[in-house]
Amino acid sequence: MANEAHTATRQVVESLREKVQGPIEAWLDICAHCGLCADSCHAYVGTGDVEHIPSARAQQLEKVYKRYHTKLGQLAPRLVGAEELDEEVLDRLQKMAYQCTLCRRCTLYCPFGIDNASIVGVIRALLAEAGRVPAGLQEHTDTAYEKGNTLGISEDEFLDRVEWFEEELQDAVEDEEAEIPLDREGAKVLFVPTPIQIMRFPTVIISAAKIFYAVGEDWTMSTKRFDATNFGLFSGDAEKTRVMAERLVDEMERLGAQVLALTECGHSYWAMKYGAETWLGNALPFEVKNIVEMIAEYASQGRLKLDPSVNRDVVTYHDPCNLGRKGGLIEEPRAALKAAVENFVEMTPGAEQTWCCGGGGGMIAIPDYEEVRLASGSPKVEQIRRSGAEVVATACDNCKLQLLDLAEHYDLDVSVVGVVDLVADALILDEDRD
Amino acid sequence: MSYWFAWVVSNVLPFITATVFFGGLAYRVVRWRRIPRASVSLVVLPGSRSVGQTLREIVTEVVTFRRVFKGSKVLWVVSWLFHLSIFVFVLGHLRLFIDFTWLWKLLRLTAEQVDLFGFAGGGASGTVFMLGLMALLVRRLRMPVRSLSVPGDYFLLLLLLGIAISGNYMRFLMHIELEPYRAFFSNLFHLRLGVPVENMIFVLHFLLVQVFLIYFPFSKLVHVIGGVLTLKWTLR
Ligand code: HEM
Ligand code: SF4
Ligand code: SF4
């Protein structure tokens, strides 16, 4: 009986077979349903909703997979708990997949290291194919795909903003000649910001420019590609993910740069450093670095002079999942901060075991998820309270937006700033520059 | 009727069991080694490690159940003892197939001492195993683990409980001489079909074990190999 709903999902069912293979299949097979991952997930801890237990997300995928691609699941669906991909299941999958922030904290707590974030990635890919990306996230993705950046900023608008950033830079470093280079071919470093920074967190760009100025970096920005983010990755749309990564690769090639310096942003670093190679089918011919990584390098080479006494508040660092746990940048931001502030404190559990802010994975772009997002942030809030910090430094717009929302919602008296901002504030500029 | 039943369980089923068990596991591993055709980036947790380091971490993980400890101390006690008991009685059962005379010589143990040792080790592990299963069952019946449970999870625990109870029954409530069982397995290995041991509890125990082994490759028990194979992707 080939009704309409059935044909609509046929393609999804087919691609399910291609995606649930190798490691993904192994993980579904070995999960002991022990529930150890439950308390590691902020979404479950924050909401108490059992559909947010990491293994529950994976099991929901497994149930659908079994229904279509195993004999027992076809013959005796009830016995093995196989489920048809109907409207109800699609809705549940959507909630389970897009309310997971892909933070990989559960991976560290599962005795078998089952990576539920990869499994959720598969679910998102299926939902994207089925046209089930939540509203808000879909719009941002489409805008980025069609207009080249998530906010649809035009080139003129961008130039306007940069002009203003440049004036701010000149004031800050007291040098009329200081500039924000644009489209400079042959520059060593291409620095790519995010649209949110251009419009809402401009200090990140100005601070980065100040740091580049201080160390005399050979850098540029691009007037074509000023969006580091990859919303294709959030929505699960494989084609758009690839195109968005490819744009940055092409721009690097056009300008002949050697280092792709990504701004304070978690997922774009992960996307370019670890994802792009798989999506594009070849290794990237240049280095991918995050700005905090570059700052740590400058500091270790003695190229940065910092005066920590300008930052006297108690500062803690929130590791964006994509930079810390998933990206491997644990020491770098700490090295930068410790050189730039007087009172640095860690949160516990810290470093790669830190709690996710609860707003990642694209959730911040989905208005319907606000309530869950705020609830999911409660373990992070507790952790910040316990640390006694007055300032939470982080290196990701997404985390920042979420932390600001959390501070307001939970009456948490902290300010939220970027690592680059604290470092830029502490900069001592040499009188005689060569 | 019961004779023929015992005969089938002891002489026919074992060959089916062995085929399904080894064939099933091989099938699993072959499937796991396929590379997904869709482009799923599988860089899970970056960080370079040498082969030696990875091996050491896997061994630590398998021996200490460190991640279980990190997650829940209570479950760790139960789970670690439970798995240790499995390890101990699996070793103990080897005496059914192999006569470790050289080992006893090395340890200077007399036959009586070996039997006593076996009784203590087997009795303790059997008891811990049974209690562990009950504890795991209780845990599974409570939230939130209950919400993650599928029929197969309960089936497995109950099946193992059946194996534990029938095994412990033979150990504690019957007087068993090892020799006839050893002879039986020796015959089986040499494909000499013979009269099975006349002990219906043993036949039941042996049947349940075989059901378990047949179910094994198609259940979450593949964590025994999969847990080790997959850990290397996500160690930290
Ligand atoms: C390399 C060896 C093994 C490792 C590392 C290992 C590890 C684990 C871990 C971490 C769990 C989840 C925690 C728990 O629920 O206890 C688990 C569950 C389980 N293991 Fe193992 N295991 C191994 C071998 C075995 C063997 C040989 C058996 C055979 C009977 C077994 C039977 C079970 C069962 C039945 C469960 C599920 C308990 C439940 O339903 O709650 N394991 N194992
Ligand atoms: S990746 Fe993070 S949000 Fe997703 S299930 Fe795991 S712990 Fe929860
Ligand atoms: S901790 Fe791992 S094995 Fe246990 S339920 Fe969660 S994903 Fe499955």
Q: Classify residue A201 by burial, with Cβ atoms within 10 Å: 0-12, 13-18, 19+.
A: buried
pLDDT of residue A409: 94
CATH code 1.10.1060 region(s) in chain A = 2-132
Give the pLDDT confidence score for residue B109 in this predicted structure.
Answer: 79
* CB A64 near ligand 3, within 6 Å: no
B225 Cα nearest atom in ligand 1 = 1
Identify the pLDDT of residue B226.
Answer: 73
For B219, the closest chain A residue by CA position comes to A29
Strands of the sheet with A259-262, listed across from one edge: A219-220, A189-192, A259-262, A287-290
Helices A23-30, A116-129: crossing angle, 10 deg rounding: 120
As a whole number of angstroms, the distance between CA B23 and CA A165 comes to 66
- Domain borders along chain B are 2-6+68-234
Query: Tell me, what amino acid is at A202?
Result: P
Ligand 2 centroid distance, CA of A41 (Å): 5
> β-strand A259-262 against A189-192: which pairing, if any?
parallel
Domain A2-132 has CATH 2.60.120: no
Question: Which of chain B's residues have a Cβ under 8 Å away from the Cβ of A122?
Answer: 38, 40
Residue A36 is nearest to which of B39, B75, B150, comparing CB atoms? B75
Q: Give A164-172 contacts, CB < 8 A, sequence gap 24+.
A: A164/A202, A165/A202, A165/A205, A165/A206, A165/A209, A166/A209, A168/A202, A168/A206, A169/A206, A169/A209, A169/A210, A169/A213, A172/A206, A172/A210, A172/A424
Determine which of A71-80, A142-151, A333-342, A399-408 has the lowest per-residue pLDDT on average. A71-80
* C-alpha distances out from residue A34 to A20, A137, B137, B228, B235, Å: 22, 33, 11, 17, 19
Interface membership of A280 toward B (CB under 8 Å): no
> CA B162 to CA B207: how far, in whole Å?
10
B74: contact with A, CB 8 A cutoff: no
DSSP-derived 3-state class of residue B132: helix
Q: Report CB contact under 8 Å: B40, A125.
A: yes
pLDDT for res A6: 52
Identify the CATH number of the domain defined by range A148-300: 3.40.50
Of B32, B147, B234, the CB nearest to A115: B234
Q: Which CATH class is domain A308-426?
A: alpha beta
- pLDDT tens figures, A26-78: 899 999 999 999 999 999 999 999 999 999 999 999 999 999 888 888 888 88
Please work out, in degrees rounded to the nearest 5, the angle formed at the alpha carbon of residue B44 by the alpha carbons of A316 and A133: 90
Q: Interface pTM (ipTM) of the complex?
A: 0.87
Q: Per residue in A237-254, pLDDT tens?
A: 988 999 999 999 999 999
> What pLDDT does A1 receive?
41
The C-alpha atoms of residue A51 and residue A95 are separated, in whole angstroms, by 9
CA nearest ligand 2 atom 3, residue? A100
Provide DSSP, A35-53. -TTGGG-HHHHHH--GGGS
Q: What are phi and psi of B215, to 5 degrees?
A: -75, -30
> What is the rounded CA–CA span in Å between residue A152 and residue B129?
63
Regions of chain B with pLDDT less than 70 = 1, 35-50, 195-196, 230-236
Domain with CATH 3.40.50 in chain A: 148-300, 308-426
pLDDT at res. B236: 46
pLDDT score at A334:
94
Q: Dihedral, CA atoms, A169, A171, A176, A177, nearest 10 degrees?
A: -20
Residue A37 CA to ligand 3 center (angstroms) comes to: 5
A284 touches chain B (CB under 8 A): no
Helix (H, G, I), strand (E, B) or coil at B184: helix
H helices within chain B, ranges in order? 2-7, 13-32, 51-64, 66-71, 73-93, 101-107, 111-141, 145-148, 151-173, 178-189, 200-215, 223-234
pLDDT at A2: 42
The residue nearest atom 34 of ligand 1, judged by CA position, is B221
Contact B231 A112 (CB under 8 A): yes
Q: What pLDDT shows up at residue B40?
A: 58
Which two three-digit tokens encode residue A434?
Answer: 């060569």
Helix axes A87-98, A54-69, angle to 10 degrees: 140
CATH 1.20.950.20 fits B2-6+68-234, yes or no: yes
Q: CA-to-CA distance for A197 and A265, rounded, in angstroms?
A: 10
To the nearest 10°, the Cα dihedral for B140, B142, B147, B149? Answer: 10
pLDDT in tens, A419-431: 999 999 999 887 5
Dihedral pair phi/psi, residue A41, rounded to 5°: -100, 120
Q: What H or E segment, with its residue span, contains residue A62?
A: helix A54-69
Three-class DSSP labels, A355-398: CCCCCCCCHHHCHHHHHHHHHHCHHHHHHHHHHCCCEEEECCHH
Q: What contacts A78, CB < 8 A, 6 or more positions away? A: none
Provide the pLDDT for residue B7.
Answer: 81
**Dihedral in degrees, nearest 10, Cα atoms A296, A299, A303, A307:** 130
Q: Å from A365 to nearest chain B CA?
A: 23
> What Rg, from alpha-carbon coordinates, does chain A have?
22
Whether A31 lines ligand 3, by a CB cut-off of 6 Å, is yes
Angle, in degrees to the nearest 10, between helices A116-129 and A87-98: 130
A343-345 and A415-418 strand pairing = unpaired
With a 6 Å cutoff on the Cβ, whether A36 touches ligand 3 is: yes
